Structure formats: C-alpha cells, structure tokens
C-alpha cells in the first residue's frame, strides 16, 4: 500500500479535486487520506453546492484541518509504507502556497505539506490563480527549488476532450504521473488525436 494524502485548499477547481479523489479511492494499492481546509469548504459550496464530506468520503482517513496533532503533521507518519508516500494539494490556493513558501504553516494541510517536503517526499501543488503577482511567482520558484512540483491547472485541448469530465480526467492523469501513480486515464500520443469536430468548442465557433 502507498500512502497518498490529498490536501484540498481554497482555490477554484473543486470539480478536479472531486474527480481526483474518486480515481484514487478506486485504486486498491493506495491508502488515501484527505484534509480539506476551511477555505476549500467555502469554495466547494460556491462551486458545487456541496459540503466537505463530498470530498472526505472518498478517503480512508479524513483529517480536520485544525487537528495539528494528527499523524500527517509528523515526519514519521510519512514513512513505513510499501512505496514512498506522496502529497497532492489540489487545488492549491495562493494562501497555502505562501504559507508553504515561508514555512509558516497554520493548519494541518499546510503542516503536512511542510512535513512531506522536509522528508524529501513527492509534493505536487496544483495551483490556481490568474494573473500571478511577483509574490506568487517567487513563492512558486522557492517551492520548486525546495523540491515541490508546481503544476498550474492548465488543461490540454490537444486530445479534444468531448466533455468537461474527460478534460478533468486527462488532468488527473497528469497529476498522477507526477506522483508516480499508475493509472489508465490516458496520455497524449500523436496517434491518439481524435477526428476533427469531436472537441468541446465555444458557442458560435464555426471552425
Ligand atoms: C469562490 C472562491 C474562489 C476562490 N478562488 C481562489 C483561487 O482560485 N485561488 C486562490 O488563491 N484563492 C482563491 N480564493 C481565496 C481563498 O479561498 C482564500 O485566500 C483562503 O483564505 C485560502 O485559504 P486556504 O489556502 O487555507 O484554503 C477563493 C475564494 C472563494 C470564496
């Protein structure tokens, strides 16, 4: 079993978090844990009309964001599995990014990500903000230099996804690739290009 901790912070992108947790929960070799920040609860309600349990129910272990005494706060929690543990912050707000870049962590999600970094484990931050200020960019560089993977939620259109769920699944696959988690969500290859006209197009697009 491999420990995977998903932290959901208060940035836009809750449908991606829901989709990713759903895929991970179906993987028999993954021991899935989850932390939902207070900010995430507000965004989840705004974007999907759902309560935090809609995210947490996918995980075997769901931790409260204010529970700083919980296992993931400790470096030792991260070791001992069959394969190196990993943490995915999906989506990652600029607030959480800043806390991680400064090391001044204020909730369990941030502390757990800080612990994953100091234990030299995979930390993938799926950021969501646009445009980016110089502060955001510096924070991203600091964290990249510290070993984190910075992965802005930038969906690819080259596979011509036929639906929003298909687009989310493609991006879930890319996140899982970064964490070294095997999946069957597809990857880009030239021969996979679907026929013209099979993609989502904007209204009024005549091309
Ligand atoms: C509907 C909504 C959407 C938001 N979208 C973003 C976002 O895309 N990126 C971001 O950095 N913050 C966003 N925020 C602001 C964060 O939720 C806020 O800064 C929060 O304090 C972050 O806390 P957390 O990182 O502990 O979850 C959004 C807030 C709301 C209510």
- Give the Cβ contact number of residue 161 at 10 Å: 21
In DSSP terms, 87 is beta-bridged to: 5, 123
Residue pLDDT, tens place only, 97-142? 999 999 999 999 999 999 999 999 999 999 999 999 999 999 999 9
**C-alpha 10 to ligand 1 mean position (Å):** 4
Residue pLDDT, tens place only, 191-203? 666 666 666 666 5
Assess if residue 200 is contained within a domain.
Answer: no
Assess if residue 202 is contained within a domain.
Answer: no
Q: What is the pTM of this model?
A: 0.93
Assess if residue 161 is contained within a domain.
Answer: yes
Assess if residue 201 is contained within a domain.
Answer: no
**Phi-psi bin for 121: left (phi > 0), alpha (psi -120 to 50), beta?**
beta
Residue pLDDT, tens place only, 141-193? 999 999 999 999 999 888 888 999 999 999 999 999 999 999 999 877 766 66
Q: Distances in Å between the alpha carbon of 89 and those of 33, 139, 158, 176?
A: 12, 15, 25, 12
User: How confident is the prediction for the chain on average, in pLDDT?
Assistant: 93
Which residues form the domain of 8? 2-192
Assess if residue 85 is contained within a domain.
Answer: yes
The closest-lying atom of ligand 1 relative to the alpha carbon of residue 109 is 26
Query: Count of domains in the chain?
Result: 1
Our answer on whether the CB atom of 48 is closer than 6 Å to any ligand 1 atom is no
Top mutation candidate among 10, 55, 92, 154 for ligand 1, by most atoms within 8 Å of CB: 10
Q: Using alpha carbons only, what angle is made at residue 35 by residues 33 and 41, rounded to the nearest 5 degrees? A: 140
Assess if residue 204 is contained within a domain.
Answer: no
Residue whose C-alpha is closest to residue 91's, from 33, 171, 161, 167: 171
The closest-lying atom of ligand 1 relative to the alpha carbon of residue 65 is 26
CATH of the domain at 66: 3.40.50.1950
């Amino acid at each position: 079993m491999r420990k995977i901790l998903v932290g959901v912070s208060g940035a836009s992108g809750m449908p991606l978090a829901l989709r990713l947790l759903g895929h991970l929960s179906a993987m028999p070799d993954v021991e899935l844990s989850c932390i939902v920040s207070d900010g995430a609860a507000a965004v989840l309600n705004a974007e999907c009309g759902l309560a935090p349990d809609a995210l947490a129910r996918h995980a075997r272990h769901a931790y409260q964001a204010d529970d700083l005494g919980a296992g993931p706060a400790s470096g030792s929690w991260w070791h001992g599995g069959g394969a190196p543990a990993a943490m995915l912050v999906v989506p990652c707000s600029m607030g959480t990014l800043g806390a991680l870049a400064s090391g001044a962590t204020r909730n369990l999600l941030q502390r757990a990500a800080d612990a994953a970094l100091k234990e030299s484990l995979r930390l993938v931050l799926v950021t969501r903000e646009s445009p980016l200020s110089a502060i955001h960019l510096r924070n991203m560089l600091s964290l990249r230099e510290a070993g984190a993977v910075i992965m802005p939620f930038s969906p690819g259109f080259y596979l011509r996804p036929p639906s929003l769920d298909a687009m989310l699944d493609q991006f879930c696959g890319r996140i899982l690739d970064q964490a070294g988690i095997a999946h069957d969500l597809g990857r880009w290859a030239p021969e996979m290009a679907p026929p013209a006209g099979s993609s989502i197009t904007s209204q009024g697009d005549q091309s």
